[in-house]
């Protein structure tokens, strides 16, 4: 019997010829990522278990990325970055994307921004490899045909010292998406549709493999959007088979070798779901769960107070391009926050053009708030001075990934998860809006 893409990666990483769902195996790790929220705890576990003077297993296979609570006056948040800095210096960590001047992020050549997008842009996400990160949306990197998943500080501390981790092989759920994408639909709509169908526990500890003709025509950034939210369905990881689109993206960013793997024709799946995307409509996830799905056109009665376009899920260059396509020549009626995921995305806002104007010109002309410094910002709430944080019980349409109570700040606030198209359309009208009102 054949193996799925996830099973093949884990088999190779464990030195086995075959693995099956449910097998407990030791895998050799290709990369460990941790950031300012979980990094200090991970470092604490590492030093407690391996010794105060212990050395990490490989200084070139650990990536430290400050990104969550960066542009804040909160002393505890700033201390977390100091801990990363001290550890990177002590251990000689090669990939530490430091920030030393928070008043001007552009003056920090090493600072990148949100970990998941920075990992991709810096060439750390490669087909066939095993990536663990102390962040649940590490599954974002599955878009590159690798096994990528989030772990806790204890597991990360163990990897720091050994380069290995004991895991259980997940069964694979396959989602076949075929058909031509309507011009008003985006990858965010696809994953919200799927999560709405199976629920937030529907893929618990399973791999979600996205395949079909629709997926083959998606850009790498759109594939990242799909895999990024596998965790919102409870998934262990999400994957897309690598192809020439993948290889071109990766080879432009690293010269490190990689060996892709592919699902066998006779592989076994826990389940198979098929979608004709040409028949789908723009959707949102209503408060307070990512699976509380509704058609965008059914929510016209929901008056909103703000729109937020950003995060690892919705703050990539293409996401702002999508928003600009809707916002060009329009005026927003509610405060609209623009948060690029990385410094590279920030730069793209001022250089990438749509219909003769840069994205920043379109966004600012439409009345959006000036783009913020790249970071996770309000996606995870953060200290009260965090840009875009919801400090009042307002209603927000957001391109982020979670809408639990308190996720973006105030516990009584309501978050509608949506695509950049839907978010931009809603910003113009002041209520939850189907983007077909502006795109068709």
Tell me the pLDDT tens digit for each residue of 321-340: 999 999 999 999 999 999 99
Q: Which two tokens stand for residue 246?
A: 């993948």
Provide the number of structural domains found in the chain.
Answer: 2
Both 78 and 220 in a single domain?
Answer: yes
Bridge partners, residue 293, by sequence: 285
Which residues on neighbouring strands pair with residue 337, listed in sequence order? 308
Placement of tokens 């809603």 in the chain: 426
Task: Kindly state the DSSP code that residue 280 receives in the 8-state scheme.
Answer: -
**What pLDDT is attached to residue 303?**
98
Residues 287, 371 within the same domain: yes
- Give residue 5's region: left, alpha or beta (phi > 0; psi -120 to 50): alpha
**Strand ranges (E), 346-432:** 353-354, 357-358, 395-398, 414-417
Q: Is residue 379 part of a domain?
A: yes
In this prediction, residues 223-228 reach a mean pLDDT of: 98
**Pair (247, 122) in one structural domain:** yes
Partners of 208 in the β-ladder: 173, 238
Instruction: Measure the CA–CA gap between 426 and 406, rounded to whole angstroms.
Output: 22
373 in any annotated domain: yes
Domain residues for 295? 283-435
Task: Report strand pairing: 283-285 vs 293-295.
Answer: antiparallel
Q: Please tell me whether residues 139 and 82 are part of one structural domain.
A: yes
Are 29 and 134 in contact by the 8 Å Cβ rule? The answer is no
The closest alpha carbon to 407, from 341, 313, 303, belongs to: 313
- Domain end, chosen from 204, 239, 274, is at 274
Give domain status of residue 262, yes or no: no
The pLDDT tens digits for 244-301 are 999 999 999 999 999 999 999 999 999 999 999 999 999 999 999 999 999 999 999 9
Candidates 84, 46, 45; CA nearest to 65 is 84
Under a CB-based contact definition with an 8 Å cutoff, are residues 100 and 18 in contact?
no
pLDDT at 143: 98
- For residue 75, count other CB atoms closer than 10 A to its CB: 8
pLDDT of res. 440: 74
Q: How far is CA 420 from CA 119, 147, 309, 317, 320, in A?
A: 22, 27, 7, 11, 7
Q: How far is CA 58 from the centre of its chain?
A: 25
Backbone angles phi, psi at 12, to 5 degrees: -65, -40
| 377 and 230 part of one domain | no
Collapse the DSSP code of 148 into the 3-class scheme (helix H, G, I; strand E, B; otherwise coil) and give the result.
Answer: strand
Q: pLDDT (tens digit, 9 = 90+) per residue, 102-118?
A: 999 999 999 999 999 99
Give domain status of residue 422, yes or no. yes
Instruction: Tell me, yes or no, whether 236 and 296 share the same domain.
Output: no
- 179 phi/psi in degrees, rounded to 5: 105, 165
Q: Which residue has the tokens 């999400």?
A: 238
Query: Alpha-carbon distance 339 to 388, whole Å?
Result: 9
342-389 pLDDT, tens per residue? 999 999 999 999 999 999 999 999 999 999 999 999 999 999 999 999
* 237 and 302 share one domain: no
Pairwise CA distance, residues 23 & 159, whole Å:
20
CA-to-CA separations, 106 to 33, 269, 346, 387, 392, in angstroms, rounded: 23, 47, 10, 17, 30
Note whether 291 and 249 are same-domain residues.
Answer: no
| % of the chain beyond a pLDDT of 90 | 100
Q: Are residues 22 and 154 in the same domain?
A: yes
Q: Could you report the per-residue pLDDT of 64-114, keeping only the tens digit for each?
A: 999 999 999 999 999 999 999 999 999 999 999 999 999 999 999 999 999
50 is a domain residue: yes
Tokens 């030195």, residue? 15
* Mean local confidence (pLDDT), 26-39: 98
State how far the Cα of 272 lies from the Cα of 250, in Å rounded to an integer. 29
Mean pLDDT to the nearest integer, 143-149: 98
Q: Which of 246, 274, 302 lies at the terminal end of a domain, its last residue?
A: 274
Identify the band that residue 400 occupies on the pLDDT scale cut at 50, 70 and 90: very high
* pLDDT, position 21: 98
Q: Name the band, by pLDDT with cuts 50, 70 and 90, for residue 1.
A: confident
297 and 241 housed in the same domain: no
Which tokens belong to 366? 């439409």
The answer to whether residue 440 is domain-embedded is no
Indicate whether 394 belongs to any domain: yes
SS3 content of the chain, % helix, strand, coil (to 5): 35, 20, 45
Same-domain status, 117 and 170: yes
* Domain CATH for 10: 3.30.499.10
Half-sphere exposure at residue 330, Cβ-oriented, CA atoms within 13 angstroms: 22
DSSP state of 170: P
Burial class (CB in 10 A: 0-12, 13-18, 19+), 145: buried
216 lies in some domain: yes
For residue 316, what are the contacts with CB-CB under 8 A and spacing of at least 6?
117, 221, 224, 225, 341, 345
Percent over 70 (pLDDT), the chain: 100
Q: Which of residues 274, 307, 327 is at a domain's end? A: 274
Residue holding tokens 């400090």? Answer: 391
234 and 360 assigned to the same domain: no
């Amino acid at each position: 019997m054949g193996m799925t893409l996830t099973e093949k990666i884990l088999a190779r990483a464990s030195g086995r010829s075959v693995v099956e769902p449910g097998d407990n195996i030791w895998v050799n790790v290709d990369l460990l990522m941790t950031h300012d929220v979980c990094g200090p705890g991970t470092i604490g576990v590492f030093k407690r278990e391996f010794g105060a003077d212990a050395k990490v297993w490989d200084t070139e296979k650990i990536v430290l990325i400050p990104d969550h609570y960066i542009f804040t006056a909160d002393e505890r948040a700033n201390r977390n970055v100091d801990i990363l800095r001290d550890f990177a210096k002590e251990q000689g960590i090669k990939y530490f994307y430091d920030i030393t001047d928070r008043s001007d992020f552009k003056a920090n050549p090493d600072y990148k921004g949100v970990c998941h997008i920075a990992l991709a842009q810096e060439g750390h996400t490669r087909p066939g490899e095993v990536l663990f990160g102390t962040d649940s949306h590490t599954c974002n990197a599955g878009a590159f045909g690798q096994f990528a998943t989030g772990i806790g500080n204890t597991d990360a501390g163990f990897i720091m010292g050994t380069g290995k981790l004991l895991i259980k092989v997940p069964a694979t759920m396959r989602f076949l998406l075929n058909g031509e994408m309507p011009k008003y639909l985006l990858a965010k709509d696809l994953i919200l549709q799927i999560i709405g169908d199976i629920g937030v526990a529907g893929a618990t500890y399973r791999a979600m493999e996205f395949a079909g003709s629709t997926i083959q025509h998606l850009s790498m950034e759109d594939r990242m959007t799909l895999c990024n939210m596998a965790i919102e369905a409870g998934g262990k990881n999400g994957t897309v088979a690598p192809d020439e689109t993948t290889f071109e993206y990766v080879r432009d960013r690293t010269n490190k070798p990689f060996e892709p793997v592919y699902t066998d024709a006779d592989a076994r799946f826990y389940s198979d779901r098929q979608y004709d995307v040409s028949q789908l409509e723009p959707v949102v996830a209503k408060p307070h769960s990512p699976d509380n799905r509704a058609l965008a056109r059914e929510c016209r009665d929901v008056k909103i107070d703000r729109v937020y376009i950003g995060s690892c899920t919705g703050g990539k260059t293409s996401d702002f391009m999508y928003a600009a396509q809707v916002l060009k020549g329009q005026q927003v009626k509610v405060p609209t926050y623009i948060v690029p995921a990385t410094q590279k995305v920030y730069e793209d806002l001022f250089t990438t053009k749509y219909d003769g104007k840069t994205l920043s010109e379109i966004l600012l002309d439409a009345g959006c708030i000036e783009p913020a410094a790249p970071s996770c910002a309000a996606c995870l709430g953060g200290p009260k001075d965090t840009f875009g944080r919801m400090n009042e019980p307002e209603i927000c349409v957001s391109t982020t990934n979670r809408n639990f109570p308190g996720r973006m700040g105030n516990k009584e606030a309501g978050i509608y998860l949506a695509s950049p198209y839907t978010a931009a359309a809603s910003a113009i009208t002041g209520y939850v809006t189907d983007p077909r009102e502006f795109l068709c």
